[in-house]
Amino acid sequence: MTLQSGWDGEYTRDGESRGAGRDPRPTRRGVLLGVGLAGLGGVLAGCSTAAVPYDANEAGVPPNGPAPGAMPGSGAMTSPAAPGSGAMSSSPSPGGGQASRSARKKAKPKPKGTVLGAASDIPVGGGVIYTTAKVVVTQPASGQYKAFSAVCTHVGCLVNKVTSGTIDCPCHGSEFRITNGAVVAGPAPSPLPARQIKIVDDQVILL
């Protein structure tokens, strides 16, 4: 009797066989082979599916280094922020505060005082009487302005006209010079008191 090796690794006698074909029961070799394939499938499933060059090393890097434009291994794309991307800079602009302060300094301050009227309304050699403020403003020469109280020093009447180089009172005929308010004709005992004014942008301002 001769022993022969069967498909499943067991020996059988000559002429004897277990069934017409292969033993349908799983053999030890088949079981081990199935377990090995299952484990290999799990390992492959956990590996990266990214394409690796043929001649790359174990880390997946080719001999000549990574190809230009290659994606980072982490999968996160990083790029420097482009100018003008909408990011606001918190640093103050150089000289910004100084420019605003200079603008405020250059702005003309509002003059203090009472605006009487336009300087252009005062004739050269004459004057204008501002009854509300009780002031008379004269212009003896072009661009030369004088101001005096409009109250006559006699009995306190208001002067009512400026003519022929004098400021005239209607009550008793007193006359005063347009240059300095001195008495030209009585009965006024003293000159008209001077008042302070200034001309700003063609405006007569009583200080």
Give dist(CA 50, CA 40) in Å, integer. Answer: 18
Q: Rounded mean pLDDT of the chain? A: 74
Q: pLDDT (tens digit, 9 = 90+) per residue, 108-125? A: 666 689 999 999 999 999
Enumerate the β-bridge partners of residue 115: 205
Q: What is the mean pLDDT of residues 46-73?
A: 58
Range scoring the smallest mean pLDDT among 5-9, 102-106, 180-184 = 5-9
Q: What is the pLDDT of residue 112?
A: 83
For residue 64, pLDDT beyond 60: yes
Which residue did the predictor score with more confidence, 91 or 56?
A: 56
For residue 159, pLDDT beyond 70: yes
CB 135 within 8 A of CB 206: yes
Position 100 confidence tier, pLDDT thresholds 50, 70, 90: low
Q: What is the mean pLDDT of residues 132-142?
A: 96
Q: Domains (ranges, CATH) in the chain?
A: 114-206 (2.102.10.10)
Q: What is the mean pLDDT of residues 180-191?
A: 94
Q: pLDDT (tens digit, 9 = 90+) per residue, 2-44? A: 444 444 444 444 444 444 445 555 566 665 666 566 666 655 5
Burial degree of 37 (CB within 10 A; 0-12, 13-18, 19+): exposed
Closest C-alpha to 151, from 125, 170, 126, 127: 170
Closest C-alpha to 135, from 163, 115, 121: 115
Question: In the numeric block, which tokens belong to residue 151?
Answer: 């109250």
